[in-house]
Structure 1
Amino acid sequence: MMIAPVGGAKHRLLPSCSTLALLAALALPMQAEAAGTRAGSTISNTASASFDTGGGTTTVASNRIDLLVDELLDVTVASGNPGDVPTTPGATGQVLTFSVTNSGNGAEAFGLSAIVNAGGDDYDPVVTQIYLDNGDGLFDSGTDTLYTAGANDPSLDPDQSVTVFVLATTPGSTADGHRGIVSLAAAAKTGTGDPGDSFAGQGEGGGDAVVGTTGADGEDAGAFLVSAATVTLVKSAVVTNSLSTADPIPGATITYTIVATVAGSGSVSGLAITDDIPADTAYVPGSITLGGGALTDAADADAGDYNGTRISVALGTVAGGQTRTVTFQTTID
């Protein structure tokens, strides 16, 4: 990082100027910003002395001292996410929210960048885009502005903030509970460095630009937390016959039990169980159950149906840690 030579004074003495120019300078507003007096403002002071030589009191004025306030370069970045943002393996367009605030005392543009490999997490999200908010605090790619570094770096007045959205893709290889960290960094375009470093003549209003306590760059981190779910199926069969044995002989009834178990912190949607009726067997009408409750064979309002060759049960959305049990019967030809 290139930094201008250190040593520029924090306040510069102005040369004598005309009365008109002086009045214009004094007319500048003296705003009480978080970082103090606005850069480019003029601070003027004249001393006076009075004395008596025996003929009455005489007052004399000193020369006037005019100080030009330099620009202080400071920035604050803060995550706007109350906690880890849920995501799923392979998900795209996942959003982290940040705010960037100019905590200096002059108008400044800031370059933005995302950091994804800082460590301390389980995977690296793939940052795809950065957007600048249109002012409503809600991400909308149709109304927010796509950020291009160097082309539309946000320029902020003192104390002004901009909301920044960082979009990322979650790799498909992530697993439930994996955490991925993304940091947003903002750096003053005038320059960064150690506190007290100075950029001569580059401050607002023509003064120096002086690096503040933040180093004129800042960053904060947000995180994605993978909330995934997996499904396992376990199928078992119990045989009963007229001989009161468990032998699969002609005429015996087979009761199939299928247990679907959803694991993980996420959920699955559109879960459905289907099972073809085995060859050399016949489906027992009305034998489908879900969680012990009977289902009809028709494709109607309940979750089950039989279409002549297979049974099907629609389970819908099921959260991790839950199971669903389906049973049906056939008889051996």
Structure 2
Amino acid sequence: MIKRTLPAILLGTTASLAIVAGGAQAATATVAGTEITNVAKVKYSVGGTPQPEVTSNTASFVVDKKVNLTVTEVGNSATNVFFGATAQVTTFKVTNLTNATQDFRLVAGQQGTLSLTAFGGVDNMDMTNVHVYVDANDDGIYQAGTDTATFIDELAADGSKTVFIVADVPATGPIGAIAGVSLTAVTANGGGAGALGIDVVGTSGAGTDAGVDIVFADDAGILDGLRDGKSSAYDQYTVGTAAINFVKKATIISDPVNGILSPKAVPGAVVEYCLMVTNGGPGSVTDISITDNIPAGTTYVPGSIWSGGTTLLGTCVIDGTPEDDDATGLDETDINGGNFDGTKVTATMPVILPLTTVSARFRVVIN
């Protein structure tokens, strides 16, 4: 309670009064613990004669701490991952809306199975090795050797900090796997750099003018209540999956008897193998490497490897990039690759987008 008193002044019935109080309302929140003092003055006249100005006593009080904060997800999208990936990151921002410097205790959590997640879908997987770290250099990018603090230390009023949840993806999981995660920030006492203060506790009962009372003013969050000194937000990991279909097709190109007209699989005939990889989605696949052993009874045709081609009506189109038989040279500088090591053919491609097919082809001669 704030009390302001003026001494009683006995005035005549003809006295006129003018009371002036100093001070204007601050434009920004005043720091908790600030002592605010002021005095008032009264001017008056008796029988038309001005009298000496009278000054009141000094009224004072200490500004209380209004505890408030927010936790928000950064990026407004899920983190796309793959099974077995490590140190995968979701990002949050913690803002100190308290009128004082505060520490914040950080708690990472995982959503319950079958609960709705932040960006669509239902939680059906838990992450492993879950940790929470504070962005040390405020660049918004998680760096394992730099971002090692696990709590927010001495965050000034109206200041913000980026916080990362870092976790590993299980090696296997359900199709369309989604893991919902949460970050809760708990307001803690500041005042000691390098050490996490204890959680702030609200003042119960009537306040005092002399001390700093603690008043919670935060909204209810997804995992916290109204006016409890906490805030929370959800994010999610979505595992990108891809359904791969791999087909190999042999086509007789020519034979020594019929040439290219209705060729038959006789000794001396040239056979082209078409290897087709189709990605049914929904995710992309990368780092594709196809290997094919040269079958017994045939001989590889030197320089016949083509990689990164397309298909039409279930067979290879005459396109892609030509590859020589070794794994070095100018032909290895493009995005596709290929080589023959004496027993098998290898063809590589960087990516297959969802709902697309890439192919590789090479030729053999029937012995």
Offset of residue 145 of structure 1? 3.1
**Higher RCO (CA < 8 A, seq sep 6+):** 1
Following the alignment from structure 1 to structure 2, what is the Cα–Cα distance between the partners of residues 55 and 297? 114
Following the alignment from structure 2 to structure 1, what is the Cα–Cα distance between the partners of residues 107 and 360? 52
- 1:5 is matched with none
Q: Does 1:234 align with 2:237?
A: no
Cα pair 1:175 1:226 within 8 Å, conserved: no
Cα 1:49–1:13 change in 2 (3 A) is: closer
Offset of residue 206 of structure 1? 3.1
Following the alignment from structure 1 to structure 2, what is the Cα–Cα distance between the partners of residues 136 and 72? 26
Counterpart code for 2:342: G
Which string of whole-angstrom CA distances, capped at 9 and with x for unpartnered residues, describes residues 239-258 of structure 1?
Answer: 47547778655455443221
Cα 1:65–1:295 change in 2 (3 A) is: closer
Q: Does 1:315 align with 2:321?
A: no
Which string of whole-angstrom CA distances, capped at 9 and with x for unpartnered residues, describes residues 110-146 of structure 1?
Answer: 2111121153133333352222222332322222333
Q: How many residues are matched?
A: 299
Pick from 97, 100, 120: which aligns with 2:116?
A: 120
Cα pair 2:182 2:234 within 8 Å, conserved: yes
RMSD: 3.5
- 2:63 is matched with 69
Following the alignment from structure 1 to structure 2, what is the Cα–Cα distance between the partners of residues 219 and 114? 10
Cα 1:237–1:298 change in 2 (3 A) is: closer
- 1:304 is matched with 338
Pick from 31, 39, 46: which aligns with 1:46?
A: 39
| Identical aligned residues as a percent | 30
Counterpart code for 1:329: R
Q: Does 1:98 align with 2:63?
A: no
**TM-score (ref. length: structure 2):** 0.68
Pick from 139, 146, 150: which aligns with 2:149?
A: 146
Cα 1:37–1:280 change in 2 (3 A) is: same
- 1:6 is matched with none
Which string of whole-angstrom CA distances, capped at 9 and with x for unpartnered residues, describes residues 151-180 of structure 1?
Answer: x55232321222222211222324675443
Counterpart code for 2:128: V
Cα 1:135–1:13 change in 2 (3 A) is: farther
Deviates more, 1:165-174 or 1:95-104: 165-174
Following the alignment from structure 2 to structure 1, what is the Cα–Cα distance between the partners of residues 89 and 129? 10
Pick from 213, 217, 220: which aligns with 1:212?
A: 217
- 2:180 is matched with 181
Cα pair 1:175 1:228 within 8 Å, conserved: no
Q: Does 1:57 align with 2:50?
A: yes
- The secondary structure found in structure 1 opposite 2:85 is coil
- The secondary structure found in structure 1 opposite 2:289 is strand
Cα pair 1:260 1:323 within 8 Å, conserved: yes
Counterpart code for 1:166: I
- 1:277 is matched with 294
Q: Does 1:163 align with 2:162?
A: yes
Offset of residue 83 of structure 1? 2.7
Deviates more, 1:239-248 or 1:210-219: 239-248
- The secondary structure found in structure 2 opposite 1:206 is coil
Cα pair 2:72 2:233 within 8 Å, conserved: yes
Which string of whole-angstrom CA distances, capped at 9 and with x for unpartnered residues, describes residues 294-320 of structure 1?
Answer: 735531443333333222222234333
Which string of whole-angstrom CA distances, capped at 9 and with x for unpartnered residues, describes residues 204-248 of structure 1?
Answer: x83210111432211122333333445431012234754777865
Structure 1: runs of 5 or more not aligned = 1-10, 16-29
Cα pair 2:111 2:179 within 8 Å, conserved: no
Counterpart code for 2:116: G
Cα 1:65–1:277 change in 2 (3 A) is: same
Cα pair 1:129 1:168 within 8 Å, conserved: yes
Cα 1:254–1:136 change in 2 (3 A) is: same
Following the alignment from structure 1 to structure 2, what is the Cα–Cα distance between the partners of residues 114 and 143? 19
Offset of residue 323 of structure 1? 1.8
- 2:137 is matched with 135
Which string of whole-angstrom CA distances, capped at 9 and with x for unpartnered residues, describes residues 81-129 of structure 1?
Answer: 2432332222111122222121011232221111211531333333522
**TM-score (ref. length: structure 1):** 0.74
